[in-house]
Structure 1
Amino acid sequence: MATYTNRYRVDASFDETIEAVTDALGEEGFGVLADIDMQGAFQSKLDEEFDRYRILGACNPALAFDALDEEFELGALLPCNVVVYDDGDATGVSVVDPTEMLSVVDNDDLDPIVDEVAGRLERALEAVPDAEPVGE
């Protein structure tokens, strides 16, 4: 099981979950800079079938600015990815754990920013209606 993400199960349709996750991220100051449709990409590029799977590249501009001001190369690890996917009779949501992701960066000045990002992402996903953490 992945330890670099926090997972949720949402008792809602895929499209409803995308909308709810996007709205909840917005409430915590995150915009979605990228919306990557992996199902569509695999179909068009490889002629392969795949479950519905979207990667939302979420960014809080103020926190990203502060983080890049402390660690210029950090952009290679941004934005924070949130994955929404078909999970049988529900919709799965997996969000990167910023604490794990940024543990590769040896810069203690980032710690308060990482904590802020982690808290905001957690609050956002907990605000999604019918979302339940998985594996806790």
Structure 2
Amino acid sequence: MFHYTTETKANVQDAIAALETSLKKEQFGVLWRFNLREKLKEKGFDFEREYVVLEVCNPAEANRVVSESALAGYFLPCKIVVYEADGKTKIGMPKPTAFMNMLEDAALMGIAADVEARLIGCINQAANP
């Protein structure tokens, strides 16, 4: 499976706050927060559910990845999505290993596996405080 998704009892905003806290412990920062609902409403589309995309980065890991392969930068920064679906709040992300696998580089896969495990840990911690 190319993604990891879990549910939380928190609302979207509380889940994001918990996620930001857990990400900081792993030296990941939120570079950008994209609120899809607000943007679509701004453009005249009626989109009612909460849907927020966070672009996150750990500078040391980004440096390792891009130093290994400039093409790996195509997959940076990592994205984590917090959204409402079926009356529940979900937190998920595309798996870094799914992207890096396309480059067929064992060193990159090792880095991606480590980053993936750490991000899944952050998501799980935020989902189940």
TM-score normalized with structure 1 length: 0.87
Cα drift, residue 107 of structure 1: 1.7
State how many pairs are aligned. 129
Aligned equivalent of 1:125: 123
Give the alignment's TM-score, normalised by structure 2: 0.91
Q: Distance in 2 between matches of 1:116 and 1:96?
A: 14
**TM superposition shift of 1:35:** 0.6
Deviation at 1:112, TM superposition (A): 2.0
The whole-number CA distance in structure 1 between the counterparts of 2:37 and 2:82 is: 11
Q: Distance in 1 between matches of 2:49 and 2:2?
A: 22
Percent of aligned pairs sharing the same letter: 26
- CA contact 2:6–2:127 (8 Å) conserved in 1: no
Amino acid corresponding to residue 14 of structure 2 in structure 1: E
Give the SS at the match of 1:102: helix
Residues 33, 53 of structure 2: 8 Å contact kept:
yes
User: Any conservation in 1 of the 2:78–2:96 contact (CA below 8 Å)?
Assistant: yes
Where does the alignment leave 5 or more consecutive residues of structure 1 unmatched? 132-136
Q: CA RMSD in A?
A: 1.5
Q: Which runs of 5+ in 2 are unaligned?
A: none
Assess, with a 3 A threshold, how the Cα gap between structure 1 residues 129 and 108 changes in structure 2: closer, same or farther: closer
1:28-107 alignment, distance < 5 Å = 28-107=26-105
Q: Which has the higher helix share?
A: 2
Deviation readout 1:45-76 (Å, 9 max, x if unpaired): 13322311000001111000000000112221
Letter paired with 2:46: E
